[in-house]
Structure 1
Amino acid sequence: MTDAASLSSPIFTRSDRLKLGVFHMNCTGGATPSTAEGGINPLEWSQQVRIAQLADRAGFDAFIPIARWRGYGGPSKFNDEQYEAIPWAAAISALTERIAVFATAHVPLIHPVRLAKEVATLDHISGGRFCLNVVAGWNQRELDMFGVELIPHDERYTVAGEWIRFLEKLWVETEEFDFDGTYFRSKGALSDPKPIQRPRVPIMSAGSSPAGVAFAAEYADICFAVADSPETLQPLVARIKDAAAERGRTVEVWTQVGVICGDTEDDVTRRYDHIVREHGDVEAVTNQMTMLMGGGGKTLDYKLDPAMLERMMAMQHSYQLFGTPEQIVKKMQQLADIGVDGMSMIWPDYETGIARFRDAVIPLAVQAGLRSAG
């Protein structure tokens, strides 16, 4: 049975206690619905290249895009423009040297035969640095664009499990085969070349529901778990790792963090107020929350909680890694102590944020034993 400990991927061969990923940068606004200056608005390829190469040279471990086809509007045009994750990953792979490059694929929207070939191609372009983020499907408005039905929640993971099994067979079988599943059927299936990484590329999935955790424990190497404090995250981390151990597997847990680093606490507060309270895009976040809470794009008949709206404007309800460099490293230590293996990181301004993290935070993280000096 494949698990993270048995994969040859460079993302698992480093000795860092806490891995660093750059997340959600391939859409307008990134993960910060705000009209404040800086950030990713408009969406420009030259900026994506600068961010990728900056993170690569700074020693970050992963570059993780989202897959999105519709945004949330508002004055900031939040996520209204998106670079599609698979061709994006191919180009970024060719322009970087050591960082692992993910692409995100939604199970209902891409057939395993096609994706098997695309993944192998990406792994060859990257020299064995490619990783796959698997999403079972959830966004009704986007699926409507493809004419695809959103099936019941738990069944989505059943479909995704068969999808993964089909992919893995395509990556290892050297002779053509028939696949006769409940959801996928194929005659004379074959895919060459195979990925460089053996026995397959690393797989990430997200989910905190029982079905999502079970899927990650069975098929993923990294589970993406979101919570706003170590106290709420710790039991989820334990539940995911225990579920994997019950299956004889090892799964890393990464969490989503938003970063605002300042010289002083007052500096951080001023920047937060400017980005979130003065320029936060309430309209875009209201549209997003309406969709997430089942409104289907229609107006809900109750008022959305202002505190929740603010947390969504503050980098999508991420764990808030806000503070001075010393405070940020202390919070990173807390995450590592509860079993978190990696952080998928978001900044209001990725270029200045990554550069400051490289210069001010990483040296302290090395001293704290969270990162290696190399």
Structure 2
Amino acid sequence: SFEGDYFTSHGAIVDPKPTRKPRPFLVNAGSSPTGIDFAAKQCDWLFCLGDLRTVRSAADMLEERADAYRRKVESFTFAWLLIADSDAEAEAIYQDIVAEVDEEATDTFLLRGMQGSQSGRTGRTASDIERTFQIPEGVSLRQALGEEQYLATAIGLGGKHIIGGPATVAEQLRELHVAGRQRGIMLSFFDYFDGLTRLQRDVLPILRQMGIRQ
């Protein structure tokens, strides 16, 4: 049990414990140029979202800025996994999910995120945001952003979608690590129980063979 100034927890278990020496790791999740510079100067890790090209660009910029501060900062990203027995089966499941996307909820989430992520520019309405991002009247947010970017938020909250059989999933994780220069990847799943089972049973052995996972 723990009783502190900010939170109280009874009967909870935390393991492994947070790193305390010399201090906890500091992580920044802002991947704008300003956010990357802040991470390079003040943090240990940068957490960034996007496709392979986007996260590679963030990692390259992070290294450049960290070098200027004579520091070493690692880049991490986030991926949403859908693992099935085959690529075709995984794609069929994914299309069923896409068909059920709640556009109203997704639009609200995106617009609120845009409103709160403009480096201190607060108090802006949804209409203000739409004008800033030049969304024409009569065009949906889904159409304006494009299917890939829109679905990345609607399904997986911005994480890169990795969909397929075990070999395909392993290869795309390898690409994020090697070509994307990501030190680590936080994973999310459509079905956590099934996804974690398949990850451990089918994907991790392939990653070990690749030398990615020890």
The TM tier, using the shorter chain, reads 0.7 to 0.9
Structure 1 pair 322–243 and aligned structure 2 pair: CA distance change class (3 A):
same
| d(CA) in 2 for partners of 1:349, 1:368 | 26
Is 1:250 aligned to residue 66 of structure 2?
no
Structure 1 pair 248–219 and aligned structure 2 pair: CA distance change class (3 A):
same
Correspondence 1:114-193 to 2 at 5 A: 126=17, 129-130=18-19
Structure 1 pair 344–243 and aligned structure 2 pair: CA distance change class (3 A):
same
Counterpart residue identity of residue 200, structure 1: R
Count of residues paired in the alignment: 188
Structure 1 pair 342–324 and aligned structure 2 pair: CA distance change class (3 A):
same
1:97 is matched with 15
Is 1:310 aligned to residue 151 of structure 2?
yes
Q: How far apart are 1:237 and its partner, in Å?
A: 0.8
Where does the alignment leave 5 or more consecutive residues of structure 1 unmatched? Answer: 1-85, 99-125, 131-196
Correspondence 1:280-291 to 2 at 5 A: 280-291=101-112
Q: How far apart are 1:311 and its partner, in Å?
A: 3.0
Q: What does the per-residue CA deviation read over 1:55-84, in whole Å, with 9 as the maximum and x for residues that have no partner?
A: xxxxxxxxxxxxxxxxxxxxxxxxxxxxxx
| d(CA) in 1 for partners of 2:173, 2:185 | 9
Is 1:340 aligned to residue 182 of structure 2?
yes
Where does the alignment leave 5 or more consecutive residues of structure 2 unmatched? Answer: 1-5, 116-123, 131-136
Correspondence 1:1-374 to 2 at 5 A: 94-98=12-16, 126=17, 129-130=18-19, 197-228=20-51, 230-277=52-99, 279-294=100-115, 296=125, 303-306=140-143, 307=147, 308-338=149-179, 339-372=181-214
| d(CA) in 1 for partners of 2:177, 2:171 | 10
> Does the aligned pair in 1 maintain the 2:152–2:160 contact within 8 Å?
no
Counterpart residue identity of residue 226, structure 1: L
Q: How far apart are 1:87 and its partner, in Å?
A: 5.2
| d(CA) in 2 for partners of 1:209, 1:260 | 28
Counterpart residue identity of residue 95, structure 1: I
Q: What does the per-residue CA deviation read over 1:32-65, in whole Å, with 9 as the maximum and x for residues that have no partner?
A: xxxxxxxxxxxxxxxxxxxxxxxxxxxxxxxxxx
Q: Which has the higher helix share?
A: 2
| 285-294 vs 248-257, which moves further | 285-294
> TM-score of the superposition, structure 2-length normalised?
0.78
| d(CA) in 2 for partners of 1:276, 1:96 | 36
Q: How far apart are 1:357 and its partner, in Å?
A: 0.9
Q: How much is the aligned-residue C-alpha RMSD, in angstroms? A: 2.4
| d(CA) in 1 for partners of 2:59, 2:42 | 16
| d(CA) in 2 for partners of 1:303, 1:361 | 38
Same amino acid, percent of matched pairs: 23
| d(CA) in 2 for partners of 1:344, 1:206 | 13
Q: Secondary structure at the match of 1:305?
A: helix
